[in-house]
Structure 1
Amino acid sequence: MAGYLSIHRSKRLLPLFLNTSFLFLICLLITSPTSDLHFLNHLKKLNPTNYHQILESTDIGCKGLHRFQDKQSKCSYVKSHEGCQSGGYISYLHLFYCSFPTILGYTSLFLWLLILFYLLGDTSATYFCSSLEGLSRILKLSPTIAGVTLLSLGNGAPDLFASIVSFMGENTNEVGLNSILGGAFFVTTTVVGIVSICVCPTRVSIDKSSFMRDALFLLLSLLCLLVIIIFGTINLLGAISFLSLYFVYVFLVSISELCRKDRGGNPILPLVIGKTSPNGDLANEKNSELGVPLLKFIVDNKRPIEVKAKEDGKGCLFLGKIMWVLELPLSLPRRLTIPVVSEERWSKPCAVISVTLAPILLALVWSSSGPNFLIYAVGGSVGAVLGSLVFFKANGPGPPRKFLFPWLGGGFLMSITWTYILAEELVSLLVSIGLIVGISPSILGLTVLAWGNSLGDLVANVTMARTGGPDGVQVAISGCYAGPIFNTLVGLGLSLVFASWAVYPSNYVIPRDACVYETVGFLMGGLLWALVVLPKNNMRPNKFVAAGLLAIYLCFLFLKLARTLGLVQFHVSLPIS
């Protein structure tokens, strides 16, 4: 029992640290001598000063910030210049230059970045993937279809919504494009390389047809994306066509698995993490839930530790209650607005509150550009009706057994809402950090955002390869290519569809960024290396494969670092759109 408690506490250290950091940031805002509501973008009232007189007419966004030397001048510029107001709910530039000392400002931004990454992953693993798993059971999807659709959606939700948010914002579309490509590059080189090193002693072989199918289709997707970038514009029909390529991929995966079954072979799930039951359906075991294993140590055992600690005395029981209370600041708002119907996490009071508050939160998000009391009244009325129905109808000890689809649909919708809010704030924060430190937001999207969203893929696929045997290696390698296919085609595809729809019937102009060509080129180089070397090695991942992939990624990072520091300077001629 003592060993269990030690492991259990270690699993809770990260949420505990982040919740404590969140409380620390709240206290900073309250106790700051210049603390006011100006850091909230949607409550900010512009207060123009004479600073605009020394700015050029071409000062778009917040590029004139670094023309000022002292912090007070920068604060006045941020307050007066509309372009410095980020697309999120918080004005980070105002906080950094007007509220906090420099060191404290950097510390606060770093802690808030960690919190946003955690909330994105935790929301996806705890709520989003749970709703997707329930929907897959209700819709009776096969493991293959569930793997390449719902599971890919669950694992790629942070990338998907970060991309959509960045494309719909102003001066942030480069962030989403580079984060998707950066994540795909990181997964197909670094993650595949680490997996190859881990499984090298076992000399296990992966399925050649599945690997060739996934790698070649990802290469095809990148070629189509490169054509779009070269042309520089895309219309609504072209964006829909690019998005439709993913359905072609799902069709090919389904056909290949059907052919494999007809030949008497075992189906290979492209991205399913977990076990399947003997009849081929998704198992009901806990370790088969849709989600990323990295996040399981964060989201498992959410209930207080005293349930398991009673045998160790009152001291552990008291400590468990304290830890549970400290974990509430980040978990409680989502718990009270996202409907949950799982056996382990069912609570009738929480269910009543969540279905009551969910429409109100939707109304607030829908009218975030300004107060709209009609929408608030409709949201409050719908929430009151739904809360009353649940209060009088849900009388059993467990979650409802009937009408599960509306419950799961509500959980799915609210998970999307929270993920969108968090992704919007994360992109806004990265853009602000880029302005503060003088680094292009596209570089931050290519590195920080891509690494943060791909960390789950790294730990998930490495864990699966090391503990899942030959099938685990196959799933890990396939996941390294199926995931980027989803993020590229669906993440960028939906972003382009929404952006094209917003300017319809005109064409949407693709962000002109030379870094995109470099990223796509290196990414294709990594794919070609794997396509050439793995078949020559009888489809056995080894250190030679890993060395080449890691060398390609390190060369890419060295080039980016050298250009950022000004050590290497060269220009790529962009096509005129």
Structure 2
Amino acid sequence: MNDGTNDIGLNSIIGGAFFVSSVVAGITSISISQHGRKIKKSSFIGNVMFLILCVVCLLVVIIIGKIHLWGGLGFFFLYLVYVCFIFASEMHVRQEEIETDDDDSFDLPMVCDMKKGQELSCELKVPLLVDKGHEVQSGNFCVLRKVGYVLELPLDLPRKLTIPNVSQEKWSKSFGIVSITLAPLLLVLIWDFFGPKSSIWAYGISGVLGLCCGVLVFFTSDGLHPPKKFNFLWLGLGFLMSITWTYILAEELISLLVSMGLIFGISPSILGLTVLAWGNSLGDLVANVTLAKTGGPIGAQVALCGCYAGPIFNTLVGLGSSLIFTTWKAFPSSYIVPIDSTIYETIGFLLLGLLWALVILPKRDMRLDKFFGVGLLAIYSCFLFLKLARALGFIEFQVSP
């Protein structure tokens, strides 16, 4: 959304989609290749085809070089179409399974048997005899935790003082009163810092609103139980403040990334394609691989489809939301998309990986094996080699539409 970092955001979205659909999907397939898991063909092809459609739409916008407000809204609307398509296709498949009475291959798996459960319970027990080395190691770990707590305190305390938490386990009346009092002021302050300047009346109204809410919480709650009435308002405000803090941290991390690029002479777009994209996708890697290895056939199905559904969400909703805000600010004019020649290379490799998945997996009877996974990793490795060679000056060429 910012003029100085919009190329990083665009590259991180495309780089993240490429990383998840190639590296995460490839490692997921390799990790369960010995089990010979098979996935549903219709669901897989539908997700891959829709991701290709999203990438093509984004490519058209980049080639044109500008986008109107209706184009940004179109990205968001396209995700609603995707959700309806997936829901309709799943209902159709379930209806066919009921009619043919052939749904035994996707029964709910047992995640672990009794023996594994007993082994896990044994591993979690605290040993009766602990040697001195273990005590020293535990003591060092406690010291590190205390040091980390002190370092996190400058950010952790303001976050707790501005995000209302009404869960029974973490409820504190004092924190609840302070958080709901300061939350409106923080919202106005963030709007004033990153957006157009607010008047003194905005601070006054937010302060009075927060003070009234704090007084209301003081008289309608106790120290043991969170408020019971209008709980949805608390949850909504907590969600809004969590998003606000995420936005604040994202702004600082992007600024840090730009500074690193200036210091080391690395293009910010390359950092967005690699460092930022990898950081955003590590959660997908851990979650999908774990789900595929422990969830049986359904876990493999969900994990692989998530490698394509996640990038679809990030592209249509994540990037779409940013485009809506930026085009709204430029309305009635169009928003000029930042020009970066290297983005065409990334889109080309991304489409190559998607076509590899779309062709190879059906040919191998929808079975997740090493051949499918290694091919995806090889495509991403070629992409990284090209980026590294260009960054080091070994290869110099420009790609234009």
TM above 0.5: yes
How do residues 61-460 of structure 1 correspond to structure 2 at under 5 angstroms?
A: 168-263=1-96, 264=98, 322=146, 326=150, 328-368=153-193, 372-395=199-222, 397-460=224-287
- Does residue 572 (structure 1) correspond to residue 399 (structure 2)? The answer is yes
Q: Separation in 2 of the partners of 1:475 and 1:329?
A: 39
Greater Cα shift, 373-382 or 511-520? 373-382
Q: What's the offset of the Cα at 1:371?
A: 7.5
**Which ranges of structure 2 fall in alignment gaps of 5 or more residues?**
104-110, 112-134
Greater Cα shift, 176-185 or 364-373? 364-373
Give the number of aligned pairs.
361
**Which ranges of structure 1 fall in alignment gaps of 5 or more residues?**
1-167, 267-274, 276-311
**What amino acid is aligned across from residue 347 of structure 1 in structure 2?**
S
Deviations 1:266-322 (A, max 9, x none): 8xxxxxxxx9xxxxxxxxxxxxxxxxxxxxxxxxxxxxxxxxxxxx9xx98x95994
SS of residue paired to 1:397: coil
Deviations 1:518-541 (A, max 9, x none): 111100110110111111111111
**What amino acid is aligned across from residue 539 of structure 1 in structure 2?**
M
Q: What's the offset of the Cα at 1:504?
A: 1.5
How do residues 535-546 of structure 1 correspond to structure 2 at under 5 angstroms?
A: 535-546=362-373
Equivalent residue, structure 2, for 1:560: 387
Q: Separation in 2 of the partners of 1:363 and 1:170?
A: 22
Percent identity of equivalent pairs: 59
Contact 2:188–2:198 at 8 Å: present in 1 too?
A: no
SS of residue paired to 2:193: coil
SS of residue paired to 1:422: helix
Q: Separation in 2 of the partners of 1:258 and 1:336?
A: 45
Q: Structure 1 496/350 Cα, relative in aligned 2: closer, same or farther at 3 Å? A: same
Q: What's the offset of the Cα at 1:331?
A: 2.4
Q: What's the offset of the Cα at 1:487?
A: 0.6
Deviations 1:48-94 (A, max 9, x none): xxxxxxxxxxxxxxxxxxxxxxxxxxxxxxxxxxxxxxxxxxxxxxx
Contact 2:163–2:238 at 8 Å: present in 1 too?
A: yes
Note the aligned Cα RMSD (angstroms): 2.4
Superposed structure 1 runs of 4+ greater than 4 Å apart: 318-325, 369-372
Q: What's the offset of the Cα at 1:396?
A: 6.9
Greater Cα shift, 180-189 or 378-387? 378-387
**What amino acid is aligned across from residue 244 of structure 2 in structure 1?**
T
**What amino acid is aligned across from residue 425 of structure 1 in structure 2?**
E
Equivalent residue, structure 2, for 1:464: 291
Greater Cα shift, 400-409 or 183-192? 400-409
Contact 2:342–2:398 at 8 Å: present in 1 too?
A: no
Q: Separation in 1 of the partners of 2:276 and 2:90?
A: 34
SS of residue paired to 2:266: coil
Contact 1:336–1:354 at 8 Å: present in 2 too?
A: yes
SS of residue paired to 1:201: helix
Equivalent residue, structure 2, for 1:146: none
Equivalent residue, structure 2, for 1:504: 331
SS of residue paired to 1:368: helix
Q: Separation in 2 of the partners of 1:331 and 1:261?
A: 47
Q: What's the offset of the Cα at 1:328?
A: 3.6
Q: Structure 1 324/441 Cα, relative in aligned 2: closer, same or farther at 3 Å? A: closer
Q: What's the offset of the Cα at 1:323?
A: 6.8
Equivalent residue, structure 2, for 1:83: none
Q: Separation in 2 of the partners of 1:261 and 1:351?
A: 46
TM-score by length of 2: 0.84
Greater Cα shift, 371-380 or 397-406? 371-380
Contact 1:367–1:375 at 8 Å: present in 2 too?
A: no
Q: Separation in 2 of the partners of 1:261 and 1:337?
A: 46
SS of residue paired to 2:32: helix
Equivalent residue, structure 2, for 1:70: none
Deviations 1:362-407 (A, max 9, x none): 1211222668433222222111111111111013733333312101
TM-score by length of 1: 0.59
**What amino acid is aligned across from residue 210 of structure 2 in structure 1?**
G
SS of residue paired to 1:520: helix
**What amino acid is aligned across from residue 449 of structure 1 in structure 2?**
L
Q: Separation in 1 of the partners of 2:12 and 2:146?
A: 38
Point out which structure has higher relative CO (alpha carbons under 8 A, 6+ apart).
2
- Does residue 477 (structure 1) correspond to residue 304 (structure 2)? The answer is yes
**What amino acid is aligned across from residue 211 of structure 2 in structure 1?**
A
Q: Structure 1 446/322 Cα, relative in aligned 2: closer, same or farther at 3 Å? A: closer
SS of residue paired to 2:399: coil
Q: Structure 1 569/482 Cα, relative in aligned 2: closer, same or farther at 3 Å? A: same
Q: Separation in 1 of the partners of 2:88 and 2:211?
A: 47
Contact 2:344–2:400 at 8 Å: present in 1 too?
A: no
Equivalent residue, structure 2, for 1:123: none
